[in-house]
Structure 1
Amino acid sequence: MDSYADELSGILEVLKETPRGMSVSDIADKIGVNRNTVSRYLDILRVSGQVDMKTYGKAKVFFISQRAPLSAMLNFSSDMVAIIDSDLCVVQVNDALCRLLKVDRDEIVGKELRNSPLVGFDHPIINERMKSALDGEETVDEIKIFRDLEERYYKIKIIPTVLNDSSPGVTIMLEDTTEEKRATEALLNSERNFRSLVEEINDTILDINDAGDLLYASPKIKEITGLSPDETVGNSLFKYMDPVCGERFRAAMQSARQNSRSELLECNFTVKKDAGYGKDGMGDNDANGGKSGREGKDAAGRQIKMELSITPKFDEIGMLTGYRVVGRDISARDRAVKGLFKWKSFLFSIVDNIPSMVVVKEVGNGTYVHFNSAAEKFFDIVAKDSVGKMGFELFPDKVTEFFAAGDRSIAADKVPVFMPELTLKVNGAEHVLKVRKVPIFGIDNALEYILTILEDITEEKRSQEALVAQRDEAQSYLDLAGVMIAVINTDGTIKRLNRTGCDLLGYREDEIIGADWFTTVVPKERSKELKRRFEDAVSGKIPLNPSAEGVAVRKDGTATDVIWQNSLLKNPKGEVVAVVTSATPKN
């Protein structure tokens, strides 16, 4: 008995060391036991669910099972558990799941999943997960269930399982994560609030009196302006502003006082730490609002744009005691806005000058709001006079109906679409247009505009048609040739065979194109040899034999003596792309 257990353990240890699996012979050699005994032991381990087997051709490969034994599921009694067999019938459920569904176990066990109170699990995604589990793959997902008018969250685990009869099954486990989810959301809300608080604290906070003198400045002012609180307290805030901003600030103070509410405005400041430029390092204003020092920003000054919130402060009896000013440096934002306008102008210039036609339609009211120069010229419209008009006011009926069909597709699917080619007659000339429509979404992810790009491919179509005509003409020449001409790809398949060749070999063109030259046309006894020489010639190892006598095998199996003429077909880079061969029957 000890030997029996030891040998089973030995097999498991060997399989653990080789995760990719081992054959019966490999295991027998490894543990020193004959194959028949090892085979019986492996059957025992498979029945117990400790070992799995996969078949590769005639070989059987054994490896450590990834399935969890059914008995292990009993350890998860705190979660809701259902065990399903491979036919999707319910084998077992625990009490927690019965309490969730408010049913007795007898109402579930033994029934098909779709005909039981667990019908909610008969969902395509869950079915797919169960199929994966039957193949040995464990999955974990999150689902949402409405229970007693309450939304609750569950983590659903689908685990591969071996049933008591050794057949495969799956175990579905539900873990209620509602409280964890709510705690996470509360933590996220708290984090957002904390972040908002940090961002506000990063602003500089100033206290001024009714005359605008600074009574307090938070330490943040040094990071924004480069001036410490000691350098600013006691100075007039108006010394930090140009005259225009100073007047606006005074008006905001008055409005805040009269309406007992905060006022917002933007002001420009010039920072210059220079003894001759005012003791506070800013440009000083005289009593009349003019500059007593240098004018505005000089070469050594630094411009700062601030967003200011001015809030009046009152004492217990309603008397004004001063103002609280919260300032934020928006210099970077201001530069970004200006850069955005510059970038927008740049993009507009590109769109307006590309050769493709571009029109933009507003979805809300169905009017067109933009046309680039190419669209103006092609449709003979003036953009400034056409903005705000409907399609039927601008385009021919055929174009309007064509655009409307594409707009409906965009509105339904909300993804870019390529429209069928549009053939249109403009100013007496026929044009072929390639049309693409692209949805443009707003901040709330709602469809706001539809961008239509039209490319005139008339010349391209004509070139394609000319190439096709040239190809057909060349093919006709090949067909008229009195000898068989074949083009063979570098992999040995037949790319083209002229009419004479089809007649000589007894095939229709559709029968032989794509067939292997060396198994179709070459005698069987020479097929391998000639194919090897063909591959060596294509790869450049040996020169291609330009002429040779040989035999061509017909469809009916008869052979025809021919004289072969061979040449390599190369691309502009000098790479071999095919072999051209011709055959003339021997007299």
Structure 2
Amino acid sequence: MEEYQEKLIAVREFLREKSPQQMSISAISRSMGMNRGTVSKYLEILRINGQVTMVYYGKSKLYTVSDRIPAVSLFDYTTDIIIIMDANARIMTANKSFFSKYNRLNERTLVGSNIFHLGIPIFSESSVHKNINRMIRGDKFLHEMQYIDERNNQIYSIKFIPTVSLDGNKNCMIALRDITDQIHTEEALSISDEKLRTIFKKVPSGILFFNESGNIINANSASLRMLGVDNYQDLMKTNLFDLFCRKEKIINALFDGDIGKIEFICDFERLKREQIMPTSRSGIAYFEASFTHISSETGFREYATIIMDVTAERMAKKELKFNESRYHSFFNYTCTGVLIYQPVDGGNDFMIKDVNQALEIILQVKKEEIIGKKLFVAFPDLPISSVRLALNRVNSTEIPEVVPPLQYIKNETSPWLTHFIFKLPTGEIASFMMDIAKDLREEVTYRKTLCTEND
């Protein structure tokens, strides 16, 4: 055995002297005066132990001393628990992680002990025990297993690795790794992934993933519904930038880093006409989108966008704006005076909210002088009791009323005004007023004429 060990070391030192030269088995055999087969066996043992390296040159094998640190010297720097044993299941060595885990053992009592006699549950477990014996015998065995320690619910990965010692004997290495946290993390990630998939499928907003070229790489079902597309393939063939009008607005926002909320328009008739994408929708649609950059392993910058169809909202606002414009045109330019007020002080008075131009002319007042004032404070000459009663009736019953003619200011030039009062949906009260002074004069003139003719 000593002679064997000496020759093994001699081969290694010979290669060290020749380093960095690479030498074939035949060249080493001739130079050292040894049998070629013996040299080949020694070189294979040294290679398995990481002390020499081998490369192919055609069909020849070239060897040189290894620059790597021997694996055994690295064992103490790994958190894995490592044990090396011989063919009789006797411990040859173990690393620091082993002694740290099983602190009741020490190297003096450990070396030479049978691995199955250590009293460590993981090695006494039936399936582990059988697998170690199969590896020792050279039978088929599992290279990796998982083991759950029932005492503390710790989960271990066990690797079984056949090795060869420097003297050529077959050894076995067992590496244990505590993977409890890893398993728990993977389970948590799996749950998170499932939650994200559920959100992706169920959220009513459209979600699109695309790269910097605008190529759509994924989309949820809500996106398909919003865009009127039946299947994913039709959408995947479409460039996002071609879907919307003013695509440069989106491109510039992305490349300038301004990837917040953007509103854009989609003309579905254009998409059909230019055969950009088959869609069942028609007309114009308005979308509101939020963009964000996402990490990618493809080498391309990728983005995600959440889109919401705000067409109904935009059309409602457009209609409202049109109605407001129509209302203001009617309000401001009608020849009838309009006064809008709201009950205050429990119906004892009414705050003036708005008046139109016709009323300013009829009453000879300026809008800014009376808006925000109380009706009976701004016009104390009104018949307060009767006006208050009429306004409160309309406010409570919401039934319009016509008020007999009255004057806002009691003098000879102040007009007599009749009122049509009604309640607005806003809770305010509106009063249309008409100057009947001309009608009264014509009535008086008519009656005087009638009397003269009778005389």
Q: TM-score range by the shorter chain?
A: 0.3 to 0.5
- TM-score normalised to structure 1 length: 0.38
- TM-score normalised to structure 2 length: 0.47
Greater relative contact order (Cα < 8 A, sep 6+): 2
**Bigger radius of gyration among the two:** 2
